[in-house]
Amino acid sequence: MELEITKAGYRHAPELLHLYKKVAGASDGIIRKTNEINREYITELLTLSIENGLILIATIRGKIVGEIHAYTPKIHAFQHMLTDLTILVDPDSQGKGIGRKLFGSFLDKVKYDMPSIKRIELYTREHNERNVRFYTSLGFINEGRQKDKIFVTESQFETPLHMAWFNPNYGTQKRKNKSGSV
Confidence of residue 175 (pLDDT cuts 50, 70, 90): very low
What's the pLDDT score for residue 7? 98
Lowest-confidence range among 77-86, 127-136, 167-176?
167-176
Please provide the CATH number assigned to the domain covering 3-166.
3.40.630.30
List pLDDT tens digits, range 80-134: 999 999 999 999 999 999 999 999 999 999 999 999 999 999 999 999 999 999 9
- Beta pairing, strands 81-89 & 119-125: parallel
Share of the chain above pLDDT 90, in %: 90
Residue 176 half-sphere exposure toward CB, CA atoms < 13 A:
4
Confidence of residue 174 (pLDDT cuts 50, 70, 90): low
List pLDDT tens digits, range 147-166: 999 999 999 999 999 999 99
Evaluate if residue 181 carries a pLDDT over 70. Answer: no
What's the pLDDT score for residue 169? 96
Q: Cα angle vertex 28, ends 80, 58, to 5°?
A: 60
To the nearest whole number, what is the mean pLDDT of the chain?
A: 93
Q: Which has more pLDDT, 35 or 29?
A: 35
Q: What is the pTM of this model?
A: 0.91
The DSSP string of 97-109 is SHHHHHHHHHHHH
CA dist., res. 127 & res. 131, Å (int): 9
| Cβ burial 86-109 (10 Å sphere, 16+ → b, else e) | bbbbbeebeeeebbeebbebbbeb
